[in-house]
Amino acid sequence: MGAVLDQYERHLALERGLSDHTVRAYLGDVTSLLLTVFGPEPGPDRRLDEVDLAALRGWLAAQRSEGASRTTLARRSAAARTFTAWAHRRGHLDTDPGVRLVAPRPHRTLPAVLRPDQAEALMTAAKSGAAELEPVALRDQALVELLYATGIRVSELCGLDIDDLDMGRRVLRVLGKGNKERTVPFGAPAATAVDAWLEHGRPHLAVEGSGSALLLGARGRRLDPRTARRVVHDAVAAVPQAADMGPHGLRHSAATHLLEGGADLRSVQELLGHATLATTQLYTHVTVERLKAIHDRTHPRSR
């Protein structure tokens, strides 16, 4: 079983090019499945063919009885199907039981987003904090401006190098999930914040090991996503009546404001780097809910 898991890990990391985080998640789910089927010390006569449809259903049923959410069950079902499909192709399984595995549909919760005026207040506060040209404050302003201007993921932002930015055209090159590259534009305020960071902030934090990383931590190394999340949480917390959110909340906000401003779904899908349009369509529900709330609050015959 250990050899099979090693092969599967190489497949996920090298052939499919998944991120370290995704590979760990897939392996964790599959390890849980195999432990349920075989126990911690399977004997030499145990075969992977014991992972059949009944075993998959039993594994999910056990997790459901332990209180796993529909979203968790759906994710683990997807991980199991990915594994059994791979194992069948490699000859470890005679048939693929995952094709007949039905999992509960996950609940799609509407993400919390900033109102446009709240987003403006956030950017104004970041600009005010950077007015004294303190290096970390300049970095934090560039961070929130880029996240909101582009809607990129925090991992994508922290992975940016200086050469990934074309300041003349105001676009950046992003390496997203599955090592898929895309080009994302940003506006003049974000460009101004980045210019200020590169001129007055980054040189004061850069060290020999900084390399070409765009954003740096206080010790001069490439900025860690956990630090970026803390920066965004703290910045949003200072905005009156804003929901608690991190970088993904700014991504949600950027997508929602683009759609409310008239952008089409396919363009927003391309900007965000979504693999399917179905993921982007979640934001249309957000805008409809906000329109309904405005209607209920303002129309004289809404009640």
Return the pLDDT at 279. 67
**Active-site position among 81, 153, 252, 257:** 153
pLDDT average, residue stretch 127-152: 95
290-242-294 Cα angle (round to 5) = 20
Distance CA 114, CA 250 (A): 8
CB 263 within 8 A of CB 255: no
- Token couple for 273: 């780097």
CB 186 within 8 A of CB 172: yes
Q: Please confirm, yes or no, whether 11 is among the known catalytic residues.
A: no
Q: Please confirm, yes or no, whether 169 is among the known catalytic residues.
A: no
- Is the pLDDT reported for residue 110 higher than 90? no
Return the pLDDT at 168. 93
Q: Average pLDDT of the chain? A: 87
**Active-site position among 11, 251, 252, 257:** 251
Of 162, 137, 157, nearest to 147 by C-alpha is 157
Distance CA 260, CA 140 (A): 27
Most confident stretch, 1-15, 194-208, 271-285: 194-208
Residues 40/42/47/51 CA torsion (nearest 10 deg) = -20
- Is the pLDDT reported for residue 303 higher than 90? no
Return the pLDDT at 14. 86
pTM, full prediction: 0.68
Place 250 in a pLDDT band, splitting at 50, 70 and 90: very high
Return the pLDDT at 20. 82
Most confident stretch, 46-55, 108-117, 158-167: 158-167
CB 151 within 8 A of CB 251: yes
Return the pLDDT at 46. 72
Q: Please confirm, yes or no, whether 295 is among the known catalytic residues.
A: no
**pLDDT tens across 96-107, in order?**
998 888 876 766
Distance CA 156, CA 185 (A): 14
Place 262 in a pLDDT band, splitting at 50, 70 and 90: confident
- Is the pLDDT reported for residue 258 higher than 90? no
- Is the pLDDT reported for residue 109 higher than 70? no
What amino acid is encoded at 238 in this protein? A
Place of tokens 């997203």: 176
Q: Please confirm, yes or no, whether 222 is among the known catalytic residues.
A: no
- Is the pLDDT reported for residue 261 higher than 90? no
**Residue ranges matching CATH 1.10.443.10 in the chain:** 116-298
- CATH architecture for the domain at 116-298: Orthogonal Bundle (1.10)
**Active-site position among 88, 115, 177, 290:** 177
175 forms beta bridges with: 181
- Is the pLDDT reported for residue 233 higher than 70? yes
Distance CA 149, CA 189 (A): 9
- Is the pLDDT reported for residue 251 higher than 70? yes
Higher pLDDT, 129 or 178: 129
Q: Please confirm, yes or no, whether 70 is among the known catalytic residues.
A: no
- Is the pLDDT reported for residue 188 higher than 80? yes
Return the pLDDT at 108. 61
* Exposed e or buried b per residue across 236-257, where buried means at least 16 C-beta atoms within 10 angstroms of its C-beta: beebeebeebbbebbbbbbbbb
**Residue ranges matching CATH 1.10.150.130 in the chain:** 2-100
Distance CA 8, CA 28 (A): 12
Contacts of 241 by beta carbon, 8 Å cutoff, 6+ apart: 118
**pLDDT tens across 6-58, in order?**
999 999 888 888 778 888 999 999 999 988 888 877 666 678 878 889 999 99
Q: Indicate the fold that domain 2-100 takes in CATH.
A: DNA polymerase; domain 1 (1.10.150)
Q: Please confirm, yes or no, whether 177 is among the known catalytic residues.
A: yes
* Lowest mean pLDDT, pick from 81-85, 146-150, 244-248, 288-292: 288-292
* Lowest mean pLDDT, pick from 15-19, 76-80, 158-162: 15-19
